[in-house]
Amino acid sequence: MEFVLPEHHRTDHTHPVKWIYSHAKRYWYLILGGLIGSLLNAGLAGLTPVYTGQAFNLIQTDPGNIQQLGKIAILITITLTSRAISQYLRNLSLEITAQFIERNVRDELYSNMLGKSMTFHSMQPIGDIMAKATNDVREVNYFFSPGITMVMGSLVFLIIPIIYSPQYHPSLVIVPILFIIVYAWSIRHYLSRLGPATESVRANFGKLNTHLTESLDGIEIVKGAAREKEEITSFISNAHQYRNAMVKQGDVEAVYIPLLLMIIALSIGLGQSLYLYKIGLINMGAVVAYFGLLMMLDFPTFASLRAYSRISSGIASARRILGLMNMENNLDQNIHGVSRKMEGEVEFRDVSFQYGPELEPILHKISFHIKPGQRVAIVGQTGSGKTTLCRLINRTYDCKTGQVLVDGIDVRDWNLEALRHNISIIEQDIFLFSRSIRKNIAFGRPRATKEEIINAAQSAQADDFINSFPKKYETVIGERGVTLSGGQRQRLALARAFLTNPRILILDDSTSAIDSATEDRIQKAIFAAARGRTTFIITHRLSQIRWADMILVLKGGEIAAIGTHDELMQSSEPYRDIFKE
């Protein structure tokens, strides 16, 4: 599940700029094409005022020489046409580079998120992750186009007046050189103020998106508690903070010194050239050409106003994305681990677990041993750690101390994919995708045949209601299965589990939303499906507990008792208390 690139394309996660560069260097040939286009564009742009100065002198000295004026006009036309081609080469090369980088950054981020542990995902707001995966990734695109595109072109434009102006008089190079020096200082000062402003914009956008996602995801609770006005007020407050951050960035961009510097440079340069003309050191055509060369400073001045803002935003976004990807991830995929056939033996040895170093432990020194094919019921009061215990078997979480073993092998020594392919978990809170019923059932086995899918649905008592829909198995259900009843969702989850044919089956209160009549049929299906498989059942229903080979009673994260129903009713007060509630 890790984003894999060839060794020479590994990305550098030590700094945002280095990370972007490590993605960009894969497309060096496109960047080279953009650089060549920029050089040609700027060089040809410098020829236009030179030819204009020649035409001006010709009109003054030989106004009747139409043939020579025509040649100059043709040269200007060729120059402008060539400029258009070079601009196209520059823009196309860097835009393609930007699109490639956006695609690769999004792939890397998505794969990185899927490879992280549930401990990580439990602590991260989904809205902020979505903001980084969409808006921030797009800002990295804009870092290149128009950001780098404009900067690359504008920097070359700064050099051209220095190259062409000495042909008229050596002293005319002074103004362009001084402008570049002061321009570089002002840009550095500008970026030092712009950086924090763009960081604030990106952070506030993430906060805004987090609140929006949580409100929509919990819309049923919001409406049920009549909290619409309060949520709107909170959203407006976050929107105002985002707006204020944008306004602050606008304030920084408004105080843009290079605009003033360009006007001063044009004034001084024009005055200097007119003075040289007055004392007879240059002609009027040179004055016109030189002023045209100075006007080339217009592009880097105005382009950098937008370009450097994009670059600053791109770096800020890259820092946010890197911060997310670089967060500690203790979940080892162990791609070279054990991948052999699983029997289903499960053993816990002094297992303790807590979600974070500052949080209270959930499980304390849990030890038990389950033989292959045994049916185990896990019971206990709410918050006793039943679900967490089962999540340690398939490494949804990793235990902090002790060992969880499957077939006598520590689960961390198994290949993670092989381990999870052999374990199916049916949640109490069923998650279904916004896809067809067929694809939802076949999620764990996308290549399953239609007959296998139907058989799994029949085993889960889901085939009847599926066939009642007009499109049957091709019916598209809403996110989380909102168009289905609770019982229908759980039967689809059962079908999904049956189809994967797991060696270990975990049922987390999976029949809680099913009516009694349907429960009887599903009980038989579960009983048949559990035959030959190690099965863990988290439940309070006596009908399910009775047919378990072993019952684990949890209390306060510890095992209070182990035995059969009859044994525990005689010997375990915590077990008896469960049925008194």
Instruction: Say whether both 375 and 315 belong to one domain.
Output: no
Alpha helix positions (H), 143-227: 149-164, 174-217, 219-224
Instruction: Say whether both 385 and 304 belong to one domain.
Output: no
What are the DSSP calls for 400-437, one per residue?
A: SEEEEEETTEEGGGB-HHHHHHTEEEE-SS----SSBH
Range with lowest mean pLDDT among 173-182, 250-259, 262-271: 250-259
Instruction: Say whether both 58 and 201 belong to one domain.
Output: yes
Domains: count for the chain: 2
For 229-263, what is each residue's pLDDT tens digit? 887 888 888 889 989 988 988 888 777 788 888 88
Q: How many other CB atoms are found less than 10 A from the CB of residue 286? A: 23
Instruction: Say whether both 281 and 382 belong to one domain.
Output: no
| CATH of residue 88 | 1.20.1560.10
All residues at 6 or more sequence positions from 111 whose CB lies less than 8 Å from its CB, including other chains = 1, 2, 3
Contacts 24+ apart (CB under 8 A), 414-417: 414/334, 414/337, 414/338, 414/339, 415/333, 415/334, 415/335, 415/336, 415/337, 415/338, 415/339, 416/331, 416/332, 416/333, 416/334, 416/335, 416/337, 417/333, 417/335
Q: Side by side, which strands form the sheet with 409-410?
A: 363-370, 346-353, 401-406, 409-410
The mean per-residue pLDDT over the stretch 483-504 comes to 80
Per the domain annotation, does 2 fall within a domain? no
Instruction: Say whether both 316 and 421 belong to one domain.
Output: no
For 187-216, what is each residue's pLDDT tens digit? 888 888 888 888 888 888 888 888 877 777
All residues at 6 or more sequence positions from 412 whose CB lies less than 8 Å from its CB, including other chains = 332, 334, 337, 395, 398
Domain span at 350: 346-580
Considering 76-85, 135-144, 392-401, 538-547, the range whose residues carry the highest mean pLDDT is 76-85
CA–CA distance, 261 with 267 (Å, rounded to integer): 10
- pLDDT value, residue 9: 61
Per the domain annotation, does 72 fall within a domain? yes
Token pair 């006005």 is found at: 229
The answer to whether the beta carbons of residues 418 and 341 sit under 8 Å apart is no
Q: Which helix (H) or strand (E) holds 173?
A: none
Q: How confident is the model at residue 75 (pLDDT cuts 50, 70, 90)?
A: very high
Amino acid, res. 165: S
The strand pairing partners of 536, in sequence order, are 376, 506
Q: 3-class SS at 506?
A: strand
Per the domain annotation, does 333 fall within a domain? no
Range with lowest mean pLDDT among 63-67, 114-118, 390-394, 486-490: 114-118
- pLDDT value, residue 108: 87
Instruction: Say whether both 360 and 312 belong to one domain.
Output: no
pLDDT above 70 for 581: no
pLDDT above 60 for 513: no
Instruction: Say whether both 392 and 472 belong to one domain.
Output: yes
- pLDDT value, residue 517: 63
Instruction: Say whether both 360 and 293 belong to one domain.
Output: no
Phi, psi of 341 (to 5 degrees): -65, 140
Amino acid, res. 28: W
Instruction: Say whether both 371 and 304 belong to one domain.
Output: no
Q: How many other CB atoms are found less than 10 A from the CB of residue 420? A: 18
DSSP state of 476: B
The residue ranking higher by pLDDT, 516 or 302, is 302
The mean per-residue pLDDT over the stretch 516-520 comes to 64
Instruction: Say whether both 136 and 283 belong to one domain.
Output: yes
Q: Are strands 363-370 and 346-353 parallel, antiparallel or unpaired?
A: antiparallel
Contacts 24+ apart (CB under 8 A), 278-287: 281/169, 282/168, 282/169, 283/57, 284/56, 284/57, 284/60, 285/53, 285/54, 285/55, 285/56, 285/57, 285/58, 285/60, 286/53, 286/168, 286/169, 287/53
Per the domain annotation, does 73 fall within a domain? yes
For 441-466, what is each residue's pLDDT tens digit? 888 888 888 888 888 888 877 888 88
C-alpha distances (whole Å) from 39 to each of 28, 177, 439 are 16, 19, 53
Per the domain annotation, does 478 fall within a domain? yes
CA–CA distance, 191 with 197 (Å, rounded to integer): 10
| CATH of residue 462 | 3.40.50.300
For the chain, percent helix, then strand, then coil, each to nearest 5?
A: 65, 10, 25
- pLDDT value, residue 348: 92
- pLDDT value, residue 520: 67
Q: 3-class SS at 94?
A: helix
Task: Share the mean pLDDT of the chain.
Answer: 83
- pLDDT value, residue 524: 66
Per the domain annotation, does 236 fall within a domain? yes
Range with lowest mean pLDDT among 153-162, 498-507, 526-535: 526-535
Instruction: Say whether both 19 and 161 belong to one domain.
Output: yes
The answer to whether the beta carbons of residues 11 and 5 sit under 8 Å apart is yes
> Count of H helices and E strands in the chain?
23, 10
- Using H for helix, E for strand and C for coil, what is the string for 543-569? HHHCCCCEEEEEECCEEEEEECHHHHH
Per the domain annotation, does 332 fall within a domain? no
The answer to whether the beta carbons of residues 189 and 100 sit under 8 Å apart is no
Q: How confident is the model at residue 400 (pLDDT cuts 50, 70, 90)?
A: confident
- pLDDT value, residue 499: 84
The mean per-residue pLDDT over the stretch 388-395 comes to 86
The pair of structure tokens assigned to 348 is 């816990």
Buried b (16+ CB within 10 A) or exposed e, 461-484: bbbebbeeeeeebebebeeebeeb
The pair of structure tokens assigned to 407 is 């077939």
- pLDDT value, residue 269: 92
The pTM of the full predicted model, rounded to 2 decimals, is: 0.69
Q: 3-class SS at 240?
A: helix
The answer to whether the beta carbons of residues 332 and 412 sit under 8 Å apart is yes
Q: Are strands 423-426 and 363-370 parallel, antiparallel or unpaired?
A: unpaired
Domain's final residue, options 325, 354, 389: 325
Q: Which helix (H) or strand (E) holds 267?
A: helix 257-278
CA–CA distance, 337 with 418 (Å, rounded to integer): 9
The strand pairing partners of 538, in sequence order, are 378, 508
Instruction: Say whether both 265 and 358 belong to one domain.
Output: no
- pLDDT value, residue 521: 64
Q: Are strands 550-555 and 423-426 parallel, antiparallel or unpaired?
A: unpaired
The strand pairing partners of 474, in sequence order, are none
The mean per-residue pLDDT over the stretch 478-507 comes to 78
- pLDDT value, residue 166: 92
Buried b (16+ CB within 10 A) or exposed e, 255-281: ebebeebbeebbeebeebbeebbeeee
- pLDDT value, residue 496: 84
Q: How confident is the model at residue 74 (pLDDT cuts 50, 70, 90)?
A: very high
Per the domain annotation, does 88 fall within a domain? yes
CA–CA distance, 392 with 349 (Å, rounded to integer): 12
Domain's final residue, options 296, 325, 354: 325
